Chain A
Amino acid sequence: MDYLEKIASHVEEGRNSDIGNCVDLALREGIPVRDVVEKGIVAGIERLGEKWKEGKAYLPEVLIAVRAAQAGFKFLEPALAKSTPVTKAKVIIGTIEGDMHSIGKDLVKLVLQASGFTVIDLGVDVTPGRFQQVVADEKPDILGISALLTTTMTSIPRVVEALTESGLRPGVKVILGGAPLDEEFARKAGADAYAKDCFQAAELATTFVQLSR
């Protein structure tokens, strides 16, 4: 039986109650933990991402898939503790100063986690200084910044400036997201990319990590 295919299918379809048994059986079969993560859980999220791009999945479908992925990771915890780390990379994420919006940012966080990233969520109303401090402390591969207001997005370039001035900018890729933002704003703000949604954010993060290794 192709357990990896089943795990991917359970994630894609959001069947969180079925995934634990499948992960358990896959491990008993001797399938490496890394394969269960990458060819099972993450593959399921990627398939959902394709459906999303085609307009065949909406937010409820994303949420149930993410929940199934989380359930899969939960069952993997004991095996993950014994194996070499399989996380793709570390991402810091937060909503910019003055902005309380969190739903979009939370969704990006969930999809990044389900895609195998370690995510540190700084929450909302994050000052440029705090972004810079956490980047200095945590040395992430990716920094994700979100804004939903035209009046708060203007603080984003200050984050990039702070990273540049402190010499941290070369070590971190900066991805922006949020309703009033676009690629042009990201370019002018000195970021590396703009992600229009949670799946594009995960794709960009994966690409940046692959290019850096």
Chain B
Amino acid sequence: MTSRERFLKIARFQLPNAIYLSPYTQGVWHKTLERWVAEGAPQEILTDNVARYRYFELDRIGMVRVEASLIALGPKGGAPFIPPVRPRFESRVLEEDERSRVRINEAGVTIREFKDDPERMPLWLDYPVKNRKDWDEYKKRLDPHHPERWLVKDWDSYADRLSKRDYPLGLDVGSFFGLLREVVGAEKLLLLFYDDPQFVEDMMVHMEYFSIQIVERVLKDIQVDFAFFWEDMAWKGGSMISPEMFREFMMPHYKRVTSLLRSQGVDIIMVDSDGDINELIPLWIESGVNGMWPLEVQAGVDAVEIRKKFGKECILWGNIDKKALAQGKEAIKEEIDKKVPFLISEGGYFPGPDHFIPEDVSLENFQFYLEYLRSLDQS
């Protein structure tokens, strides 16, 4: 069985008790990698994702080389993240001191970033879209057909190579809430739902157009195995917006994109959202999305409970408490034992931490976590 077949069988609940360690969902902060290098990991894991995946012997997952979701500009492919604008804005430093610099970044967002850690999340200071006029200008950079968005020069031979692959391939298909929040700002976007709902709808319409165009163009030539939305639209206390607002503003757009994907054979459709997503899960399922990551433990999300409640309606990724990874082998074992054997018993689960791994996790602990997960594979 190839990696691709194995991945698909797990995702479709056809291969019980199997472990597939997706590199896509074993995210690590830069400071953590620095620690691991100091503890004996090879230097190249700091800057080369493929070297990292190989060193930790993670299973392979590919992503279609098109910019359709948050873009990672960090040296090892992590933060800072920007919306997928093309052409990018010219980055401009506005002020600078010993510790930090304020600059307009490549997506037109004004941020304060810190010099001691190139992948530390910045402080967001100002956003490029303040009104409809701004949006009309900004959305020109969210043109799905802009040539710089398509990162492969010889598309036909790329598609041909991918048709012969033996590993799973995913496609970022965009976002409705998350990307708008990145360019409008959270507070402003949340207020717009009341102040100018038509403006919110107009922005959602464009994001749907963006997603549909990306999906149509890719699927014309390449059969992808899964699709990935990015939203980050929940916090520890639950969804940022009400279910009613989700239904009114987001669901119709989601449905059109997921219907298109399914009509083309893509039946694994994931969403990435931090926070307590419990209330959002049935809404996403109704919208045609059937997988969730990272299932944050600290926000009260429990993959075992979700599986019991939603069964095979929901493919789950993540949910291993990153705090357990920091505590040591017993805590790691306990955390994995209480979730993973149950979750893999029918398939439909890809183990991973419940968010990027923080720097308090040692290399030894991370390696133990991987080894212990692999030991549970009985497929």
Using a CB–CB cutoff of 8 Å, the interface residues on chain A facing chain B are: 14, 55, 58-61, 63-64, 67, 100-104, 106, 124-125, 149-151, 154, 178-180, 196-197
Contacts and interface: CB of A to CB of B under 8 A. Distances in A.
Given A60-B193, A179-B298, A100 B236 contact: no
Contacts of A124: 123
Given A59-B190, A60-B240, A179-B236, 16 more contacts: A14-B194, A60-B245, A63-B187, A63-B190, A64-B191, A100-B114, A100-B123, A103-B187, A124-B123, A150-B323, A154-B360, A179-B299, A180-B298, A180-B323, A197-B236, A197-B237
Given A64-B194, A104-B235, A58 B299 contact: no
Interface in B247-278: 275
22 contacts: A55-B238, A58-B239, A58-B241, A58-B242, A58-B245, A59-B190, A59-B241, A60-B193, A60-B240, A60-B241, A63-B187, A63-B190, A64-B194, A103-B186, A103-B187, A150-B358, A150-B360, A151-B31, A151-B360, A180-B298, A196-B236, A197-B237
A115 B187 CA distance: 19
- Most A CB atoms within 10 A — which of B123, B240, B296? B123
Given A64-B191, A150-B358, A180-B298, A58 B240 contact: yes
Contacts of B323: 150, 180
A58 B249 CA distance: 15
Interface in B340-362: 358-360
B118 interface: no
B326 interface: yes
Nearest to B185: A103
Contacts of B194: 14, 60, 64
Contacts of A64: 191, 194
B219 interface: no
Interface in B310-338: 322-323, 326
A5 to B, nearest CB: 22
B358 A151 contact: yes
A180 B275 CA distance: 11
A22 B177 CA distance: 35
Contacts of A106: 187
Nearest to A180: B298
A63 B186 CA distance: 11
Contacts of A103: 186-187, 235
Given A59-B190, A67-B191, A150 B326 contact: yes
B120 interface: yes
A197 B360 CA distance: 26
A67 to B, nearest CB: 7
Nearest 4 A/B pairs, CB to CB: A100-B123, A179-B236, A60-B190, A58-B242
Interface in B86-135: 112, 114, 120-124
B110 to A, nearest CB: 14
A100 B121 contact: yes
A103 B121 CA distance: 13
